Amino acid sequence: MDLGMSEHIAEGSGAVASQTDVNSSTNHDPRLRENQSDPTSEDASDNINGTPTSFFGLKRPPSAYDEPLEDDYHDQREGRKPTGIRVWYSSFQSIDWLHDAIKDVSRLRRLRKRRSLKGKIISSLDRLMGWFIVSIIGFLTASISFMIVRSEMWLFDLKEGFCEERWWKSKAFCCSIPQGDFDLLVSARGETCPQWRTWAHTFTASTGEESWVIEYASYTIVALALALLSSFLTINLTASSSFITSKDSAVLASDVQGQKSAPEVPPKRRVMYYAAGSGIPEIKTILSGFVIHGYLGGRTLFTKAVGLSLSVASGLSLGKEGPMVHIACCVGNIVSRFFQKYETNEAKRREVLSAASAAGVAVAFAAPVGGVLFSLEEVSYFFPSKVIFFCAMIAAVTLKVLDPFGTGKLVLFQVTYDKPWHAYELPLFLVLGVFGGVYGAYFSKLNFRWSKYVRNGTWLRTHPMMEVFLVTLVTTMFGFLNPYTRMGGTELVYNLFAECRMNDTHEGLCLDTPEHAKSLIAAIAVALVVKGMLTIVTFGIKVPAGIFIPTLGVGACFGRIVGLTVQYLQWKYPDHVIFSVCHGDRDCVLPGIYAMVGAAATLSGVTRTTVSLAVIMFELTDTLSYTVPVMLSILVAKTVADALEPKGIYDLVIDLSQLPYLDSKHQHLWGDLEVIDATDQHVPVIHADQENTVESLNELLQSVLASGEEDVGFPVIRESSDGPRVVGYLGANELEHALSLAADDEYGNVRFRSMGEVRRPSRSSPRSSVYDTPVGPDRLDFTLYMDQAPLTVQTHSPLELVQQMFVKLGARYIMVTRGDGTYEGVIEKKTWLAFLSELDG
């Protein structure tokens, strides 16, 4: 098996945001079958052997899911394997957590049976494999983060000028700044840095209006070029139409060709762009058990990393912290392909992806503990506690050694406070929490409405690059005029967080005299409004874009305003009883603390994270002194935001994109509803006690897939005196795979055996090796592909039981029986999601 296959193969992840139905019908577009019409062609030959053809003539190489597994077959013969063989998943299909868990147990059992020295060594290496993989992921994630930071710094400064002696250096590294000075990006100015040459100085010697025009023109042109290049790469390299997202099979090709006159099913998914946006909503969907092919592949990784550097450097109101989670998961997915233990097991692969997501947050915020908690709280569905912290630690240590800013700091806005907070400030921290909740709720609402009615409801939907052009143009128009909106996002957050010290005004954000307060507060207020409004229209454009930094910037602006106001009042009325604890100390009030608390509250209001966000803030400030203010403001912000808008920005993106995500934390009110109300009683079934030929099953499968449904299956039942009894469940993918292997015997009778028949195999049955034939001794025995022990509930079971079975057990489907054990229907995961959506209204 080729473990270094391209991103077109099953990656345990699948397509992105959708605006319509959940299922894709591209399997059955006759236009995609043009290479299959000639049975003597190379493509057709490959298809017959299980190597299907799909989009643009691309062929999907054989994967782990197309090959029969030796342990599956032998366990079946021993009566220990009642869950069949899992084959290749199409995009937006749910993985089978139970099957993968049983398969891993079977693999471990075989390893432990080997008592020799070689067997013990192999078992030890198997136990160490996870640690080795996450070490590689942590190292590579930190290395990519380092390259993104360095390139983004250089590209961002390119809007202002260039380094005359070393053109490839950013302003911070061009100018002779003492090592360890953390104000790298903000203290190097033209008059103190002769090596740095501005565009205005290059094209004109004047310093008046002509110089200002050249500065603005160069700022705008470079910003537009960077943003449009980022959008161009995103749209042309990561469009979902260029990835294989569903499995084609030659066994169905003739039927499709024969139905050219039949009305075509319109495609139900628009083209989406995998490198665009934050990626966290899609990562949540993937980790919950759904597949999105190409989303975590090498092409997406390259585009996301390069495009992120370009989009952040353009000065748009976006950040790189959220996309780092997507980048880390791409690294995790690619690395896992080289290890069969994870390549052939989607559930195990998601353990690696969970650890990778923690590494992404660790390098983004210099917070390994916060990264672990963020993975647990926000993205992970099942938590791999053994290796996730180790992966985050490796990533943080590697980034520390690489030192991207040349200061020993992992992120630009790391700060340290050395003064305590006072009791009279608690009400002010509550105010910051309320602001964070209100802003978070209304930002989420407005961005959702902008995306739904403007971005997807007007001509912008078909002209994504034009939207990027307009948003960037507006950003440069308003951003250039204000010194605080002109800064980079991380630079602004650092200056707002910073503690004022002697001879360091932090871009004028430190008060020298009380008279300076009003003008400074007004300038910050303008920056707050501009940043807030621009972020609403920027988040969601077709470039790699995160939401963390813009949100932190807005919250920090408001917090700094509150802090400056309190500082002004303390200077104005030093003898007031409220300020008696200051004892006349002019540095009693630290506006930077208010900025930090306000930023945490606002980010909590937008994303609805709590514990992980608090820990990230503690790690950023290197102290626990402000535990109470931060936790209090975050708690208030989340409470207020939930009251105004129950869903955070990531959940709204999932809803807007119609991603098939089952929220394990959401509480549903079932009322008087029962399981029978959510049961699909009209799903096509296979009667095991009737004659089933390859041809008849092919027609049955074709009738289902022609409707665009792929993540479906067929209950296998057998009639008895008191009604139909459940024999098992056969997924559509498994049936299609089995039919392709038995295509030579079109009129052969297919058999489905029950558990009792499997445990009592015929003595006359051949005992040839699994390698002799693709499915064991009998190609027409489809029992191996059938789940003979499906999860089952009764019609009057509580709906909460079904919810917990889907959430806690990772079920793909649940069979429903009546009280006497006879078959009633089935609840598939996507059917359940549709039921919950209708229930919540």
The phi and psi torsions of 637 (rounded to 5 degrees) equal -60, -45
pLDDT of 695 above 50: yes
Handedness of CA 534, 540, 545, 546 (dihedral sign): positive
Q: Are 683 and 695 in contact (CB under 8 A)?
A: no
Q: Are 824 and 679 in contact (CB under 8 A)?
A: yes
pLDDT band at 587 (very low <50, low <70, confident <90, very high): confident
Residue 99 pLDDT: 82
pLDDT of 756 above 70: no
Residue 506 pLDDT: 66
| Bridge partners, residue 718, by sequence | 725
pLDDT of 599 above 50: yes
Bridging pattern class, strands 713-720 and 723-731:
antiparallel
pLDDT tens-digit readout, 652-667? 999 998 888 888 888 8
- Which residues fall within 8 angstroms of residue 766, CB to CB, at 6 or more apart? 777, 778
pLDDT tens-digit readout, 700-721? 988 888 877 777 899 999 998 8
Residue pointed to by tokens 């990656």: 11
pLDDT band at 487 (very low <50, low <70, confident <90, very high): confident
| Bridge partners, residue 544, by sequence | 277
pLDDT tens-digit readout, 601-625? 999 999 999 999 999 988 887 778 8
Q: CA–CA separation, 666 vs 412, rounded Å? A: 36
Which strand ranges, in their side-by-side order, compose the sheet holding 792-794? 792-794, 813-817, 823-828
Work out the average pLDDT over 35-55.
36
Q: Could you give the dihedral angle defined by the CA atoms of residues 164, 166, 171 and 172, in that order, rounded to the nearest 10 degrees?
A: -140
pLDDT tens-digit readout, 335-361? 999 998 898 888 899 999 999 999 999
pLDDT band at 317 (very low <50, low <70, confident <90, very high): very high
Residue 205 pLDDT: 60
- Which residues fall within 8 angstroms of residue 31, CB to CB, at 6 or more apart? none
Q: Which of 311, 303, 362 minimizes the C-alpha distance to 546?
A: 311
Handedness of CA 745, 750, 755, 756 (dihedral sign): negative
Q: Are 566 and 428 in contact (CB under 8 A)?
A: yes
Q: Which of 66, 63, 113 minimizes the C-alpha distance to 85?
A: 66
3-state secondary structure of 802: helix
425 burial via Cβ count (<10 Å: 0-12, 13-18, 19+): buried
pLDDT tens-digit readout, 166-223? 888 888 888 755 544 444 444 444 346 777 888 878 777 666 667 788 888 999 999 9
Residue 267 pLDDT: 46
Handedness of CA 256, 260, 266, 269 (dihedral sign): positive
- Which residues fall within 8 angstroms of residue 245, CB to CB, at 6 or more apart? 14, 15, 24, 26, 54, 55, 90, 91, 92, 292, 293, 294
Residue 144 pLDDT: 96
In eight-state DSSP terms, residue 175 is: S
The mean pLDDT value of the chain amounts to 80
Residue pointed to by tokens 């996730």: 388
The better pLDDT of the pair 329, 49 is held by: 329
pLDDT tens-digit readout, 75-108? 444 444 444 555 667 778 888 888 888 888 888 8
Residue 806 CB coordination number (10 Å): 25
pLDDT tens-digit readout, 429-466? 999 999 999 999 999 999 999 999 999 999 999 999 99
Residue 671 CB coordination number (10 Å): 9
The better pLDDT of the pair 255, 756 is held by: 756
Report helix angle 426-449 to 517-538, nearest 10: 30
DSSP string of 761-796? --TTS----TTTSTTSS-TTBGGGGSBSS--EEETT
pLDDT tens-digit readout, 502-554? 666 666 788 877 888 889 999 999 999 999 999 999 999 999 999 999 999 99
Q: Are 731 and 713 in contact (CB under 8 A)?
A: yes
Q: CA–CA separation, 280 vs 606, rounded Å? A: 14
DSSP string of 363-378? HHHT-HHHHHHHIIII
pLDDT band at 280 (very low <50, low <70, confident <90, very high): very high
Residue pointed to by tokens 């993106």: 653
Residue 36 pLDDT: 35
The phi and psi torsions of 245 (rounded to 5 degrees) equal -115, -5
Of 568-572, 582-586, 690-694, 722-726, the range with the lowest mean pLDDT is: 582-586
Residue 439's H or E segment, with its range, is helix 426-449
Structure tokens at 606: 């937008």
Q: CA–CA separation, 133 vs 391, rounded Å? A: 9
The better pLDDT of the pair 488, 826 is held by: 826
Residue 825 pLDDT: 94
Three-class secondary structure assignment of 717-747: EEEECCEEEEEEEEEHHHHHHHHHHCCCCCC
The phi and psi torsions of 601 (rounded to 5 degrees) equal -65, -40
Structure tokens at 524: 């910050």
The better pLDDT of the pair 19, 707 is held by: 707
Residue 246 pLDDT: 62
Structure tokens at 595: 């900025």
Q: CA–CA separation, 607 vs 664, rounded Å? A: 16
3-state secondary structure of 584: coil
Q: Are 715 and 686 in contact (CB under 8 A)?
A: yes
Structure tokens at 221: 């042109």
State how far Cα 506 lies from the chain centre.
35
Q: CA–CA separation, 360 vs 354, rounded Å? A: 10
Q: CA–CA separation, 600 vs 552, rounded Å? A: 7
Q: Return the percentage of the chain with pLDDT > 70, whole number.
A: 79
3-state secondary structure of 273: strand
Residue 801 pLDDT: 93
Residue 209 pLDDT: 66
Structure tokens at 800: 């909460």
State how far Cα 499 lies from the chain centre.
35
pLDDT tens-digit readout, 104-156? 888 888 888 888 888 889 888 988 998 999 999 999 999 999 999 999 999 99
Which strand ranges, in their side-by-side order, compose the sheet holding 686-687? 686-687, 713-720, 723-731
Q: CA–CA separation, 251 vs 273, rounded Å? A: 31
Residue 360 pLDDT: 94
Residue pointed to by tokens 């409470």: 639
Q: CA–CA separation, 375 vs 264, rounded Å? A: 42
Residue-range domains of the chain with CATH = 423-656 (1.10.3080.10), 675-840 (3.10.580.10)
State how far Cα 210 lies from the chain centre.
46
Bridging pattern class, strands 196-198 and 686-687:
unpaired
pLDDT of 42 above 60: no
